[in-house]
Structure 1
């Protein structure tokens, strides 16, 4: 009887592990999609509407102020990384991932209710900024926690694939955050500016409920449970990171700088394409939606290849291709005709769904793989959010560099330097795709 019981137990445990890996990937996709739908509808609204509603009379600076509200959320993202990373490493991943969803959903819903500058004066932009800061605090814990949890649940040889669904979810969130404004653009201008732009924010109430239902089904990863059982949980993970993993903190932070390409394409070029190139807002929104929708499918493909051939070669190749395509895409956008945007679409899709997705798909596994389980959430969150701080202000920085003469070369050079730093840091990081999950980060416990 003993001999027959053991295989049954083994099969049951294997089935449970497969189910947990699948549920973590599905929850990572859905939760991240819904969380970043909330986060990015603000970016789209800031690029298209908030200048006139909340910064009237500011002249040429109005658009800069509006784009800067996107960036303020990235100020609190590192703070959110510290908070949620600490809680995630101490009390568990699942509870933290539920908390960040509630905060994001509530903040986004209230943004849809804020009166305009014409109604309550200076309090309108102040409230906008405060709620945007709350969004940033929430976003500081979402992708690091979701990626860490998915990576820890995944089989050793498929960590890249399973964790990439977090990024696929974020990318799908960008798709729907842009697509939801396409029918809004079809309304009369007066309707758009009075109530139409608010609809996507108010829909976040439904978004939040769906995400919470999915996230409540998750289990804590075995590697985290074992860490707690062996009393390896540290009281203050950030202190342990600084003490034992300083080199990894610097390198992973440097690798995260490439994420500025995201906001450069999805926010800055949305404004640049409409105001400088004369491309209709609806077409630019459609381009962003289509490019990111294609990326939803290419992300798992690139991640699967990283499970076969390694994280470093694909990550570095992605950074090189991004530098080339950034110059080509911005040139096409600056010199193309509004009546013929085919080359803009082709180069933009190659950049977003090809080169950028190549690196974007890998980091949800590659970044947390650099750290041991007891500081993994904190390490991933802190490094990523510091890098994303640059991404948050990229639209405003790019707008300043572009200036009145629409200097696209300066913007391309700025982006290329950031992406190049990411590639160099990846070159200096160890390869991890063949390391067993329970041994990740342990070989470099004491760094100098």
Structure 2
């Protein structure tokens, strides 16, 4: 049974202040979500192994901490189903508010949790629950923000207009890691000196999580002022709202969900290798097989090179409109395969050096290349994945594809990479990226070009028409 028809006038393409509000809302919302997510990722490497996990070695505690990091990726597909259902049934606006609150509240609670020394095993258990809640919220956030921007886009400019939520990733990363860098410098925290009485480990690490309350309030203020997207308003008027979006998507768009999942796999793998795993490999002790670079120095490298990610994200949106999504991503994915083959050359301890003798310039070049590739592959995804699905299941379909990919490409990436590097060296981590990129390349070869599709015409569940695919030249 479809929702009843309405007689509300058709919304127009937003201009001026309305367009600016959409851009700010999609950007601020994902910035907040990714800030929360990356604050946890940073702490999972530098703080949680020391305060929440009891193990006989630093590597053991690190692996346990990374396991809770992966819990969020299990929650994300569940969040995509939950928020996707309401996003396709009730609307994009109200669902975006709910996803933001879910993740924001969980993040603030993490900043208030007692440690292992205070309550024992309850500490990592509560941390895992809050991490699960973070993943639940993020599972619904990305697709909603992407649809907010993409379903209100200008003709022929959807790749660039839908790009704004993607900028939230590098901005959120910069804010979260910048906050940690500032705190560790002010509190004179050194990752090589992990005395539990150190002020940063006692209370300083909590501040980035508690600060999330402030920026969540900002995000809510912006989102309450939004109007519903044109595409969703159109299917409300036509009475074609899906009663059970997940079942409808599985029935009519299951091929697109599989394709979208594997299109995103390499992107996820690259990003979490270049943020979470590389941080652990770079700052952990030399005597345990790592590089032993100062935590402060490496965070500076990450903050500098994340600018390549931010700069290449709008370039990706622009090229996606100019060349086509498929053509752009095939080229970038081949570049990722080639980059994966260089990990051993860049990161071998004898070539890179360790501790005070580490070649920071070489590390910066490595990080810059990886982050630039990340921006190029990530920027256009917020246009491409929703374009694979009709309006009445677009939130659910794109969210499920995006977040199932997070399990395959991201949840296990830091864990697998840490294990591979400790056993066989960093070159094998690059080979891992090669394998995941090859999977994405195969998926890209199976999808149509979606650049010229009018997504407002896709009001019922059917695949994008191959007849509209332009020549890739």
Relative to the length of structure 1, the TM-score reads 0.93
Q: Do the aligned partners of residues 443 and 96 (structure 1) sit closer, same or farther apart at CA in structure 2, a change above 3 Å counting?
A: closer
Q: Secondary structure at the match of 1:220?
A: coil
Q: How far apart are the structure 2 equivalents of 1:318 and 1:232?
A: 37
Q: Which residue of 1 aligns with 2:365?
A: 346
Gapped regions of structure 1 (runs ≥ 5) = 1-11
Q: Secondary structure at the match of 2:225?
A: coil
Offset, 1:237: 0.9
CA displacement, residues 156-209 of structure 1 (integer Å, 9 cap, x when unaligned):
211111111111112210111111111222214401111111111111111111
Q: Which residue of 1 aligns with 2:327?
A: 313
2:269 aligned to which of 237, 260, 263: 260
1:375 aligned to which of 393, 410, 415: 393
Q: Which residue of 1 aligns with 2:218?
A: 210
Q: Which residue of 2 aligns with 1:49?
A: 47
Q: Which residue of 1 aligns with 2:234?
A: 226
1:116-131 matches, within 5 Å, as 116-131=115-130
Q: Secondary structure at the match of 2:450?
A: coil
Q: Secondary structure at the match of 2:163?
A: helix
1:246 aligned to which of 235, 249, 254: 254
- Asked whether the 8 Å contact 1:164–1:300 carries over to 2, the reply is yes
Q: Which residue of 2 aligns with 1:105?
A: 104
Q: Which residue of 1 aligns with 2:279?
A: 270
Offset, 1:427: 1.8
Q: How far apart are the structure 1 equivalents of 2:344 and 2:329?
A: 22
- Asked whether the 8 Å contact 1:316–1:359 carries over to 2, the reply is no
- Asked whether the 8 Å contact 1:82–1:382 carries over to 2, the reply is yes
Q: How far apart are the structure 2 equivalents of 1:84 and 1:58?
A: 40
Q: How far apart are the structure 2 equivalents of 1:443 and 1:84?
A: 19
CA displacement, residues 97-154 of structure 1 (integer Å, 9 cap, x when unaligned):
0011111111111101111100111111110000000001001011111011210011
- Asked whether the 8 Å contact 1:370–1:440 carries over to 2, the reply is no
Residue 168 (structure 2) pairs with residue 160 (structure 1): no
CA displacement, residues 234-266 of structure 1 (integer Å, 9 cap, x when unaligned):
111111111111211111111110112111110
2:375 aligned to which of 354, 357, 360: 357
Residue 137 (structure 2) pairs with residue 138 (structure 1): yes
Offset, 1:377: 0.4
Q: Which residue of 2 aligns with 1:402?
A: 421
Residue 96 (structure 2) pairs with residue 77 (structure 1): no
Please, what is the CA RMSD of the aligned residues? 2.0
Q: Secondary structure at the match of 1:371?
A: coil
1:336 aligned to which of 352, 376, 399: 352
Residue 403 (structure 2) pairs with residue 385 (structure 1): yes
Q: Do the aligned partners of residues 16 and 386 (structure 1) sit closer, same or farther apart at CA in structure 2, a change above 3 Å counting?
A: closer
Offset, 1:17: 4.5
- Asked whether the 8 Å contact 2:12–2:230 carries over to 1, the reply is no
Q: How far apart are the structure 1 equivalents of 2:461 and 2:128?
A: 43
Offset, 1:15: 7.2
Moved more, 326-335 or 304-313: 326-335
Residue 459 (structure 2) pairs with residue 436 (structure 1): no
Q: How far apart are the structure 2 equivalents of 1:328 and 1:94?
A: 44
- Asked whether the 8 Å contact 1:17–1:153 carries over to 2, the reply is no
Q: How far apart are the structure 2 equivalents of 1:260 and 1:399?
A: 13
Offset, 1:437: 2.5
Offset, 1:393: 2.0
Q: Secondary structure at the match of 1:157?
A: coil
Q: How far apart are the structure 2 equivalents of 1:386 and 1:31?
A: 21
Q: Secondary structure at the match of 2:156?
A: helix
- Asked whether the 8 Å contact 2:93–2:223 carries over to 1, the reply is yes
- Asked whether the 8 Å contact 2:273–2:414 carries over to 1, the reply is yes
Q: Which residue of 2 aligns with 1:423?
A: 441
Q: Do the aligned partners of residues 18 and 315 (structure 1) sit closer, same or farther apart at CA in structure 2, a change above 3 Å counting?
A: farther
Q: How far apart are the structure 1 equivalents of 2:462 and 2:252?
A: 8
Relative to the length of structure 2, the TM-score reads 0.88
Q: Secondary structure at the match of 1:199?
A: helix
- Asked whether the 8 Å contact 1:368–1:376 carries over to 2, the reply is yes
Offset, 1:61: 1.2
Offset, 1:328: 2.2
Q: How far apart are the structure 1 equivalents of 2:461 and 2:97?
A: 32
Q: How far apart are the structure 2 equivalents of 1:372 and 1:117?
A: 48
Alignment length (residue pairs): 435
- Runs of 4+ more than 3 Å apart: 12-22, 440-447
Q: Do the aligned partners of residues 330 and 208 (structure 1) sit closer, same or farther apart at CA in structure 2, a change above 3 Å counting?
A: farther
